[in-house]
Amino acid sequence: MLEYIYLVAALEVHAAPRWELYRLLGEPVRLRLLALTAHEELTIGELADVLCEGQPNVSKHVASLRQAGLVQVRRQGTRALVRLVEAASADPVVADGLESGRALCVADGSLARLADAVRAREAAAREYFARQVGPVEAPALSGAFGAYVAALARLLPSRKLAVDAGTGDGSLLEVLAPAYEAVLAIDRSDVQLDRARVRTTTRGFENVTLLKAELDAPAALEAVSGGADVVFASRLLHHAARPVTLLRQLAGLTRVGGAVVVIDYGRHDDESMRDEADLWLGFEPSELEALAADAGLVEPHISPVRRWLHPDGRDAHLPWQILVAHRAASSTPARTARGTSSIEK
């Protein structure tokens, strides 16, 4: 479907009178817009900040580029995100415009500010999860809960090491600790790790190691050695500045043939979730599949989570889904070049 959209867009570029394309690309702001959206999918507000232009002016230029089939705009709640239609760059005039636009962005510093804009996306999430909260009290579970999980775990083909990426208060450890020989719980927040530590101590999880680190930090990669059998990311993807980068990091912690399991929201329109530091209002299954492929993961399988399995809480009303994919032998999850997924962060 994406290929069809790109093909149609490319045909539209060639179908337009050539003089109109030259006129369109004769405006430096539009050239810079093209170059920036070739690097990253950005909101109108982010583009305005990076370009040091007013949002109305940026919106006007984006509308012109969109009408010409050079950029595509998609909605995420109230936000409009803009990216280059990749097939458009096959046009030699557009390709030349991209090169000129990139040179302008380098000269005026907007390309350097692009990285700052992406990092700024995560600032709210970092602040949200770093807030001081009271220690978590591990909820009462059935006395046989751990035994039940351990019994089910015997059906798993490999259960030497599991990773809980972004462990938070450690609630997923209730399942992972009885199921796997060893569990590595990673988080970048001291506050969240303190909460997870209360849980592991209360439960007596002697096979769980807590680690403060970024997912691609040397300490994390060293801790998994040859890679984990499975890496879990529960309700983490929608907080990531670039979801594709997060998936590459998860793949980088996984052994060849190992699984990456992502639990996250389906697409929704509840803007109030941004108060919970949500950067993205869920994902379409097709978006998850594209992101997984871009991260070097294969055999993606996406399934919905039944509502009666949702816990009580602010997000209980949202659609939940599970992505399971595997790291291929030829995957290159650590790459940073832009891929073809519709959401990148």
State the Cα–Cα distance between residues 18 and 219, nearest whole angstrom.
54
Which pLDDT tens digit goes with each residue over 173-221? 999 999 999 999 999 999 999 999 999 999 999 999 999 999 999 999 9
Which pLDDT tens digit goes with each residue over 237-246? 999 999 999 9
pLDDT band at 133, cuts 50/70/90?
A: low
pLDDT band at 132, cuts 50/70/90?
A: low
Q: Are 258 and 317 in contact (CB under 8 A)?
A: no
Residue 225 CB partners (closer than 8 Å, separation 6+): none
Boundaries of CATH 1.10.10.10 in the chain?
Answer: 2-123
pLDDT band at 15, cuts 50/70/90?
A: low
Residue 134's pLDDT is 61
State the Cα–Cα distance between residues 24 and 263, nearest whole angstrom.
43
Boundaries of CATH 3.40.50.150 in the chain?
Answer: 145-327
Which pLDDT tens digit goes with each residue over 154-167? 999 999 999 999 99
Which pLDDT tens digit goes with each residue over 261-294? 999 999 999 999 998 889 999 999 999 999 999 9
Homologous superfamily in CATH for domain 145-327 = Vaccinia Virus protein VP39 (3.40.50.150)
Residue 4's pLDDT is 39
> Would you say domain 2-123 falls under CATH 2.60.40.10?
no
Give whole-number Cα distances, 232 to 65, 215, 295, in Å: 40, 12, 15
Residue 212 CB partners (closer than 8 Å, separation 6+): 186, 187, 188, 189, 190, 193
Residue 297's pLDDT is 97
